[in-house]
Amino acid sequence: MRSKSESQTLSNSTSNAAAAAMDSASSADPIHHLLRLVAFNSFLLRPPKLRLKLPTLTLPSSMTVYALVLLTYFLVVSGFVYDVIVEPPGIGSVQDPATGSVRPVVFLQGRVNGQYIIEGLSSGFMFILGGLGIVLLDLGLDRNRARSVKVSYASAGISSVIIAYVMIIGILAINFLGNANLRKKILY
Partner 1 sequence: MVGAGAKKTTNGSPEVVKSGSGSSTMLKLKLKLKTKQQELLLRVSILCLVYVLAFITRLFSVLRYESMIHEFDPYFNYRTTLYLTEKGFYEFWNWFDSDSWYPLGRIIGGTLYPGLMVTAAIIYWLLRLLSFAVHIREVCVLTAPFFASNTTIVAYFFGKEIWDSGAGLVAAALIAICPGYISRSVAGSYDNEGVAIFALLFTFYLFVKAVNTGSLAWALASAFGYFYMVSAWGGYVFIINLIPLYVLVLLVTGRYSMRLYVAYNSMYVVGMLLAMQIRFVGFQHVQSGEHMAAMGVFFLMQVFYLLDWVKYLLSDTKLFQAFLRITVTTALAVGAIALGLGTASGYISPWTGRFYSLLDPTYAKDHIPIIASVSEHQPTAWSSFMFDFHILLFLFPAGLYFCFKRLSDATIFIVMYGLTSMYFAGVMVRLILVATPAVCLISAIAVSATIKNLTLVARAKNNNKVAHSGSLKGSTSSSKASSKASLDQSQPFQRNGAIALLLGAFYLLSKYATHCTWVTSEAYSSPSIVLAARGAHGNRVIFDDYREAYFWLRQNTPPDAKVMSWWDYGYQITAMGNRTVIVDNNTWNNTHIATVGRAMSSYEDEAYEIMRSLDVDYVLVVFGGVTGYSSDDINKFLWMVRIGGGVFPIIKEPDYLVNGEYRVDKGAAPKMLNCLMYKLSYYRFGELTTEYGKPPGYDRARGVEIGNKDIKLEYLEEAFTTSNWIVRIYKVKPPNNRW
Which residues between 88 and 107 bind partner 1 (CB under 8 A)?
none
Among 45, 98, 146, 180, binds partner 1 (CB under 8 A): 45
Residue 4, classified by CB atoms within 10 Å of its CB into exposed (0-12), middle (13-18) or buried (19+), is exposed
The span from the CA of 151 to the CA of 136, in Å, is: 10
Among 105, 118, 127, 152, binds partner 1 (CB under 8 A): 127
Query: Does residue 161 bind partner 1 (CB under 8 A)?
Result: yes
Residue 175, classified by CB atoms within 10 Å of its CB into exposed (0-12), middle (13-18) or buried (19+), is middle
Residues in CB range of 101: below 8 A, 6 or more apart: 95
Show contacts with partner 1 in window 2-41 (CB under 8 A): 2-4, 6-7, 10-11, 14-15, 18-19, 21-22, 35, 39-40
Among 52, 63, 146, 180, binds partner 1 (CB under 8 A): 63
Query: Does residue 153 bind partner 1 (CB under 8 A)?
Result: no
Query: Does residue 46 bind partner 1 (CB under 8 A)?
Result: yes
The span from the CA of 12 to the CA of 10, in Å, is: 5
* Cβ at position 90, least distance to partner 1 in Å: 14
Query: Does residue 123 bind partner 1 (CB under 8 A)?
Result: yes
Query: What is the residue type of 141?
Result: L
